[in-house]
Amino acid sequence: MMIQGFHTGISGIKTYQTAIDVTANNLANINTVGFRGNTAEFATLFEKTLSTTHGNMTHNREDMGLGTRVNTISMTQEQGNILLTDKSTDLAIYGDGWFAVQDNKDSIPLYTRAGNFSFDADSNLVLPDGSHVLGTMGTNIKDGVTVTRADGTKEKGAELTEKLATVELSGVEEQVPLSFPKNLVYPPEATSKAKMIGNIGTDDEVRTIGTGIVDSSGNRNHLRIKFTKVENQVEPGSQWNATATVQSLDGKEIYSTINEVVEFNADGSLKSNPFTTIDNKGSDVIIDLGTGYNGVVSIANSDITSSSMANGTIGGDLKGYEINKNAEVIATFTNGVQTSVGKIAVYHFQDDQGLDRITGTKFRESSNSGEAIFFQDANGNNIIGTNVANYQLENANVKMEVGLTDLIIMQRAFDANSKCITTADQMMQKALQMDA
C-alpha cells in the first residue's frame, strides 16, 4: 500500500501539472483571435477490482484506481465570443468551418478560425503573421490590354476587369493564395439603351426629357429629346414633334440629331415609338419611349414628370478591395462600379478533433480528421456551407470564469496528490523504524 501511494501520488502530480499547464495556456490566450482552447482528459493508469463473494454470488464490486494519466488533450469546439470591428476584411465563422492559410507558396495548408485578414503592400490577402489566405480567384482580371483610364489617358499593358456578380469556389485542391493587382482599371462600357419615362401633358408647351450616356471612348455625353406639339392636331389623340439630340455635357457640341413624330392615343398612352437608334459618337443607342403607359405619356390634368434610365459607365480606377458577408473579395472603382474578384475558401472536416495543433490558432489535416472538403449545394456546386460575417472576429473560445475555477480545482488536486506522497513517505519511515 505504501508503494502504491507513491505511484498514485506521483502519477497524480504529473497528470494535474499537465492539466494546470493546459488551463494556464488557455487563460494566457483568452484575447487571441481564433484561439481554440484545450481540455485535458484523464484516464486510470491501473485499475484493481475489489469484491467479496458468498457462494456463487459476488457482492460489493468496487474498482480502485492505482494512478492516473492524461488520456488526451482535446480541442474545445464551442463558438468563441464575437468581436465587432471597423474593417470589412475581418471575418468570423458562425458554426462549422475553417479558413486555410499558407506560410509560403510551397507549404501545406494550415487551417484556422482566425479571420483578422488584411491586404499587404502587394495586395495579398494575409494574416498579421504574413500567412497567405487561400481561395478562388475570379476569372475577370486580365492584363496586357490597352485601356482608357478614368482621366481619359490610355495605358498599355494595364490590368483590367469586367463586372462579375459572384465567384464560384473551385475544387479543394485548386485553391490558391489570394493576390490581386495593385492597379486595376474598370474599362468604359458604352451605352446601348436609354429609356425615357414621364408625362409631357397636353398643353402646347415645350417639354424635354434627357439622360446621360457614355460613348465607346468612355466620355459622358447627353441625350435629350425635345417635344413640341404639332400645330395641326388629328383627333383622337395627339401628335408631338420629337427631336433627339446627342451632345456634349456643356451643350457646345452636337454629335447627332434625329427628328420624329410621336403619337399618343386619346387616353394619353403612347401609340407607337418612332425612334430606333441614335449615333453616340460611333456607337448606337436604342431610344426606348416605352409602350402604352409604361414610358412617355401625354395625360391632361396630371403632374408633368420626367425621368430616364441608361446603361453604360465611364472607366474607373481602383479605389480598394473589401470583403462582403459571402466571403467574396470586392473591387470598388472610382466610377462607382463594384465587382467580385475572388472568394475566400471555407473548409470542413469529418472530425475537427482529429486536426493536429500546430499553434494556438493553426491546425493541420491528419488521418484522424480526414481530408478537407467543401460542402455542395443541390446542383453539385461548391459552397461555403456556413455563415460568415464581415466586420466581426471570433475571439478565443475560452471562458475566464471556467478557466479560473478549473485552475483552483486542479491546484487542490495537485496538492492532494503531493500530500499522498508525503503520507506514504511518513508511513514508510515508520515501517522502517518498527523493523529496526
pLDDT at 47: 57
What does the pLDDT read at residue 8? 67
CA–CA separation, 331 vs 339, rounded Å? 5
Q: What is the predicted pLDDT for the residue at 88?
A: 94
Q: How many CB atoms lie within 10 A of CB 252?
A: 7
Per-residue burial over 170-197, b = 16 or more CB atoms within 10 Å of its CB, e = otherwise:
bebeebebbbbbeebbbbbbbbbebbbb
| Element holding 278 (H helix, E strand) | strand 277-280
| 96-138 residue pLDDT tens | 999 999 987 678 999 999 999 999 999 999 999 999 999 999 9
d(CA 307, CA 321): 33
Q: What pLDDT, in 10s, does the model give residues 175-206? A: 999 999 988 888 888 999 999 999 999 999 99
The confidence band for 51, taking pLDDT boundaries of 50, 70 and 90, is low
pLDDT at 25: 82
- Whether the pLDDT of residue 58 is over 60: the answer is no
- Phi, psi dihedral angles at 13 (to 5 degrees): -60, -45
* Closest C-alpha among 50, 63, 66 to residue 9: 66
pLDDT at residue 158, as a whole number: 62
CA distance 214 to 426: 96
Q: Is the dihedral of CA 22, 25, 27, 31 positive or negative?
A: negative
Q: What confidence tens digit (pLDDT) does each residue in 317-335 have?
A: 899 999 999 999 999 999 8
- Average per-residue pLDDT in the chain? 85
The pLDDT of 290-301, averaged and rounded, is 92
Q: What is the mean pLDDT of residues 245-249?
A: 94
Question: Which pLDDT belongs to residue 218?
Answer: 85
Say how many C-beta atoms besides its own lie within 10 A of residue 434's C-beta: 7
| Share of residues in the chain with pLDDT > 90 (%) | 57
DSSP state of 355: S
Instruction: Output the CA torsion sign for 125, 127, 132, 136.
Output: negative
pLDDT of residue 162: 77
**pLDDT of 62 over the 60 cut:** no
pLDDT for the residue 205: 92
What per-residue confidence (pLDDT) applies to 394?
A: 95
Cell of 368: 484522424
Distance CA 213, CA 309 (A): 9
The amino acid at 234: V
- For 222-263, the DSSP string reads EEEEEEEE-SS--SSSEEEEEEEEEEETTSS-EEEEEEEEEE
297-310 per-position pLDDT tens digit: 999 988 999 999 99
Q: How many CB atoms lie within 10 A of CB 317?
A: 15
Assign 304 to helix, strand or coil.
coil
Average the pLDDT over each of 10-14, 72-76, 143-147, 184-188 and give the range with the smallest value. 143-147
pLDDT at 52 over 60: no
- Which tens digits make up the pLDDT trace of 404-414? 787 787 777 76
- Any residues with CB less than 8 A from the CB of 334 and at least 6 apart, and which? 150, 316, 317, 318, 319
CA of residue 428 relative to chain centroid, distance: 66
- What nine digits make up the cell of 434? 518498527
Tell me the C-alpha to C-alpha distance, in Å, between residue 277 and each of 27, 244, 247, 264.
71, 10, 15, 20
pTM of the model: 0.74
Tell me whether residue 67 is exposed, middle or buried, using C-beta atoms within 10 angstroms of its C-beta: 0 to 12, 13 to 18, 19 or more. buried
CB 363 within 8 A of CB 354: no
Check residue 157 and give its pLDDT.
57
Asked if pLDDT for residue 373 goes beyond 90, the answer is: yes
Least confident of 35-39, 147-151, 199-203: 147-151
Q: How far is Cα 367 from Cα 22, in angstroms, rounded to an integer?
A: 24
Higher pLDDT, 19 or 43: 19
pLDDT at residue 296, as a whole number:
95
pLDDT at 388: 95
pLDDT computed for residue 402 by the predictor: 79
Residue 284 has pLDDT above 70, yes or no: yes
